Structure formats: structure tokens, C-alpha cells
């Protein structure tokens, strides 16, 4: 099941929707096609994603991206400019937050849940530009090209599956290789 993020339209919040779906499903993967990460607070999003991952039994795939519509950012009171730089900082911060939650869990700390999937739910980065490919291979687990234009159900791809980016994968190095099947 895939949901998208359009804050300025009649669309439900993607993570709240997946949390609800997690309670009535057992096997289906739960995915966001592209949460507009720079329009959100990454600490809150990391916690929400960890909760969805836990209540779903580790079935969350988190797709993030920039988005191309300023009105979606305006609806949330966030700046549209500088979102590429913010996205990179936030992707790094997500990794740090999830690692810290796992450490707290191991040492008996209580603030914030750790994701069930380790080290975190698959993190797919959307976009078409060269910068998006670089982000996908250095800060994510793969890409989700075409989510905005193709609609829900866009297949996420491990970097090794994308012929035009194999060179980028080798030159930048990815965090890990997944079978997004």
C-alpha cells in the first residue's frame, strides 16, 4: 500500500494513514511515495516512522523527496527555498536519530521508539536531478523515480537496478543494498 504527501490538497497525512492501515493488514508493505521531508520537522517524522514501523511489524518503506509545489510548503508554514540543502541535512539527521533510538533501547533508555527494521526502515529518495541521484546513493537506500508523475505504486529501485545511475552508485557508494521487491 502506497500513500503520497500533498499537504495543500485533500489528502490524508501519509504516516497517520499507514499507521491505521498497519492495524488491519498483516503482510502488505506500507510505503510513502514521497513525504516532502523539508516541509516537516525530521525529529517528529523519525519518531512517527518508527512507530509505524513497529506497529506494522517492520513493514514500512519511507520514501522522501523535495516536492515541486510551493503551495504544499506554504500550507505547512515552511520555506520553499533552500529545500535541497535542508533535505540533505534532514536525511543525515534521520540516520542519527534512529541510531540513537536503537542505542537507547539497548541501554534501557525510554525517550522515543526505535524502528523495528535495523538499522532503519528502507529510506527511498525521490527526484530526477543529479543531486537527487547523489542523495539517493549517499543518504538513502535507493531511489523512487517518477513517484510524482506516475502516481501511487511507483516501484522503488535499488541503485544497482538503475542503469543510468550505476556509475553514481560506484562513485558515491550507497549505505546498503536492498531488494525492494
Q: 151 lies in a domain?
A: yes
Q: 180 lies in a domain?
A: no
Higher pLDDT, 142 or 146: 142
pTM of this structure: 0.80
Q: At what angle do helices 42-55 and 14-22 cross, to 10 degrees?
A: 20
pLDDT (tens digit, 9 = 90+) per residue, 48-106? 999 999 999 999 999 999 988 999 999 999 999 999 999 999 999 999 999 999 988 87
With beta carbons less than 8 A apart as the criterion, state whether 30 and 56 touch.
Answer: yes
Higher pLDDT, 34 or 115: 115
Strand runs labelled E in 55-136: 60-65, 123-125
pLDDT at 133: 78
Specify which residues 3 forms β-bridges with: 32
Write the CA distances from 103 to 22, 45, 57, 62, 107, integer angstroms.
Answer: 25, 19, 20, 21, 6
CA atoms within 13 A on the CB side of 9: 7
Backbone angles phi, psi at 164, to 5 degrees: -70, -10
Q: 179 lies in a domain?
A: no
- Give Cα 97 to chain centroid, integer Å: 14
Higher pLDDT, 98 or 151: 98
Q: Which domain holds residue 130?
A: 2-172
Q: 144 lies in a domain?
A: yes
DSSP 18: H
Instruction: With cut-offs at 50, 70 and 90, classify the pLDDT of residue 146.
Output: low
Please give the radius of gyration of the chain, using alpha carbons only, rounded to the nearest integer: 15
pLDDT at 179: 34
Q: Grid coordinates standing for 153? A: 505504486
Instruction: With cut-offs at 50, 70 and 90, classify the pLDDT of residue 127.
Output: confident
Q: 145 lies in a domain?
A: yes
**Stretch 104-128: mean pLDDT:** 84
Selection from 65, 88, 70 nearest residue 150 by Cα? 65
- What's the CA gap between 34 and 132, in Å, rounded? 13
Q: 177 lies in a domain?
A: no
- Give me the number of domains the chain comprises: 1
Q: 181 lies in a domain?
A: no
We report the CATH number of the domain holding residue 109 as 3.20.20.30
Q: 178 lies in a domain?
A: no
On the 0-12 / 13-18 / 19+ scale of CB atoms within 10 A, 149 is exposed
- What's the CA gap between 14 and 166, in Å, rounded? 30
With beta carbons less than 8 A apart as the criterion, state whether 140 and 126 touch.
Answer: no
Amino acid at each position: 500500500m502506497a500513500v503520497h504527501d500533498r499537504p495543500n490538497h485533500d489528502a490524508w497525512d501519509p504516516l497517520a494513514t499507514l499507521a491505521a492501515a498497519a492495524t488491519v493488514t498483516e503482510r502488505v508493505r506500507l510505503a510513502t511515495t514521497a513525504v516532502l521531508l523539508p516541509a516537516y520537522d525530521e525529529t517528529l517524522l523519525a519518531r512517527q516512522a518508527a512507530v509505524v514501523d513497529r506497529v506494522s511489524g517492520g513493514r514500512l518503506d519511507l520514501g522522501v523527496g523535495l516536492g515541486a509545489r510551493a503551495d504544499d510548503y506554504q500550507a505547512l508554514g515552511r520555506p520553499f527555498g533552500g529545500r535541497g540543502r535542508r533535505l540533505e541535512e534532514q536525511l543525515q539527521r534521520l540516520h542519527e536519530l534512529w541510531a540513537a533510538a536503537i542505542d537507547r533501547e539497548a541501554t534501557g533508555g525510554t525517550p522515543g521508539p526505535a524502528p523495528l527494521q535495523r538499522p532503519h526502515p528502507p529510506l527511498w529518495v525521490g527526484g530526477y536531478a543529479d543531486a537527487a541521484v547523489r542523495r539517493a546513493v549517499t543518504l538513502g537506500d535507493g531511489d523512487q523515480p517518477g513517484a510524482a508523475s506516475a502516481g501511487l505504486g511507483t516501484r522503488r529501485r535499488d541503485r544497482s537496478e538503475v542503469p543510468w545511475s550505476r556509475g553514481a552508485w560506484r562513485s558515491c557508494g550507497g549505505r546498503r543494498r536492498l531488494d525492494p521487491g
